[in-house]
Amino acid sequence: MTMNGADPRDPVMNGDEARNITFGKGDYDASQVNDLLARIAAELDAGGPAGPLIENATLQTSNPRWYQLSPRGYDTGEVDWFLEQLWRRKDPAKADRMNADPWRDLAADPYCIRREPGAPARRIAAPSKQECANAWDNFSRQPGTRLSWVPTDALCHELRTADQRAVASRRRRLPATLTAGGRTFTWKRVSRSSWPDIAKTISRENPYAPPHMRKRQADSQTGKRNYWLRQLLDETGIPILYTAGRHFDLVAGGYIKFPGQRWLRFPVRGTSQRNAIMTAVDQAENKVARYRLADPRTGFRQITEITVHPDQRLTGELTLAIAASAPWLSRYLRIRLFDWSSSAPG
């Protein structure tokens, strides 16, 4: 079996492959992960689904002693991603739909499963720089609608079509606004008083939460305010979408939520301007759009190239979502030089 990213064409993983997978070093308690994999493997051997075991699992981080120079457990990102792949294979109809996807070979997440020559078992790993570079070079060959995010001055950007027609623009002045379709939309922080009503209309879960934590995290958000949440309002004050989290310092944490329990997450695959690609993925794991930075020599006038999935219609809502997320890839690649929070009072 070959498994790269979340390619649904791969056959369902069998018990031996699940129990023998290996991970890099990290903070997850290794004994708990091994026990969960053993139970998943037994379920797969019996022809059962792995989903319920994963959804109800509780994994704790290890607590290494001060004299241990390296982690003794498993890498949390690798384990969470692997469990996500097993969990998402529970829906045959979804796999059939994704098999027909023209973007099915375009991996979005920053991990893959590989077996080195002569190695007895497969392991979770980040794609190589060459693999990322090849994907970056092939970006312009993928089918879909071409867009670009172009700076017009220090505080303004435009979202343009392939023929350079502006379909949206952003102003970073106060108040920050997005303009599209002849309408102007304004950003506003979500207040404490408005959060209970908003929580009834959007998903409470963190789109990046692994399946074994998603429900618990969603339940814990009941009655609580998300302090990173911003809303994009139309002229009448009706919210069109919400943004939360952020992309920064090689951490992809920003996401967009829409009324009606829909959302987009934006994983990044790659480590530099020359090989990084960000993908918008919806709540059903459909790829919606992909982003890459153009020639890095342009400096502050960096252009972001965007391709919208051929099955996606460029609606007003999607145009606003792309304009809202277009700056995130360059922010993801900004490295924190100093962690001021460690010395800040409080």
- Same domain? For 233 and 212 the reply is yes
Under 8 Å CB-to-CB from 318, ≥6 apart: which residues?
288, 289, 308, 312
- Same domain? For 115 and 144 the reply is no
- Same domain? For 232 and 315 the reply is yes
The pTM of the full predicted model, rounded to 2 decimals, is: 0.86
Residue with tokens 């360059």: 330
Residue 3 falls within a domain, yes or no?
A: no
Residue with tokens 């303009």: 179
Biggest alpha carbon–alpha carbon distance for the chain: 64
- Same domain? For 121 and 164 the reply is no
- As a whole number of angstroms, the distance between CA 27 and CA 294 comes to 36
- Same domain? For 102 and 200 the reply is no
CA-closest candidate to residue 64, choices 74, 54, 77: 74
- Same domain? For 98 and 218 the reply is no
Residue 226 falls within a domain, yes or no?
A: yes
Report the domain count for the chain: 2
Amino acid (one-letter) located at 8: P
Each residue's pLDDT, cut to its tens digit, for the chain (346 residues) gives: 334 443 333 444 788 888 889 999 999 999 999 999 999 999 999 988 888 999 999 898 876 655 555 567 999 999 999 999 888 876 666 666 666 889 988 999 999 988 777 677 789 989 999 999 999 999 999 999 999 999 998 789 999 999 999 999 999 877 899 999 999 999 999 988 888 889 889 988 889 988 888 766 665 554 454 557 899 999 999 999 999 999 999 999 999 999 999 999 999 999 898 999 999 999 989 999 999 999 766 555 789 999 999 999 999 999 999 999 999 999 999 876 544 433 333 3
> For the packed helices 211-220 and 76-88, what is the interaxial angle rounded to 10 degrees?
100
- Same domain? For 119 and 161 the reply is no
Residue 337 falls within a domain, yes or no?
A: no
Under 8 Å CB-to-CB from 327, ≥6 apart: which residues?
149, 157, 304
- As a whole number of angstroms, the distance between CA 289 and CA 110 comes to 16
- Residue 117 burial (10 A CB sphere; 0-12, 13-18, 19+): exposed
- Same domain? For 64 and 145 the reply is no
- Which residues span the domain enclosing 229? 139-332
Helix ranges, 62-171 (H) = 76-88, 92-99, 129-137
CB 144 within 8 A of CB 309: yes
- As a whole number of angstroms, the distance between CA 289 and CA 294 comes to 16
- Same domain? For 46 and 23 the reply is yes
Residue with tokens 């059939």: 96
